[in-house]
Amino acid sequence: MKLYPLRFNPVYSYRIWGGDKLKTVLNKNYQEESIGESWEVSDIKDNETKVAEGSLEGQTLKQLIKKFKGDFVGNSVYKSFGNNFPLLIKFIDAKTPLSIQVHPSNKLAKQRHNSFGKNEMWYVLQAQENAELIVGFSKKIEKESYQAHLKDSTLTEILNIEKVDKGDTFYIPTGRVHAIGAGVLLAEIQQTSNITYRIYDYDRVDAKTGEKRELHTELAMDAIDYNAYKDYRTVYSISDNVSIKLVHSPYFNTNIISISETMDMDYSKIDSFVIYMCVEGKLEVDYNNTSYNLQMGETLVIPAVINQLKLVGTKAKLLEIYL
Closest CA to 111 of 214, 225, 219: 219
Measured in degrees and rounded to the nearest 5, phi and psi for residue 128 equal: -70, 165
Q: For residue 117, what pLDDT is reported?
A: 86
For the chain, list residues with pLDDT below 70: none
Q: For residue 205, what pLDDT is reported?
A: 83
Per-domain residue ranges of the chain: 8-221, 243-322
Are 8-221 and 243-322 the same fold in CATH? yes
Domain 8-221 - what CATH class? mainly beta
Calpha distance 306→304 (Å, rounded):
5
User: What's the CATH fold of domain 243-322?
Assistant: Jelly Rolls (2.60.120)
Q: What percent of the chain has pLDDT over 90?
A: 87
Calpha distance 10→27 (Å, rounded):
12
Calpha distance 68→12 (Å, rounded):
27
Q: For residue 172, what pLDDT is reported?
A: 97
- How many C-alpha atoms does 199 have within 13 Å on its Cβ side? 27
Q: For residue 206, what pLDDT is reported?
A: 82
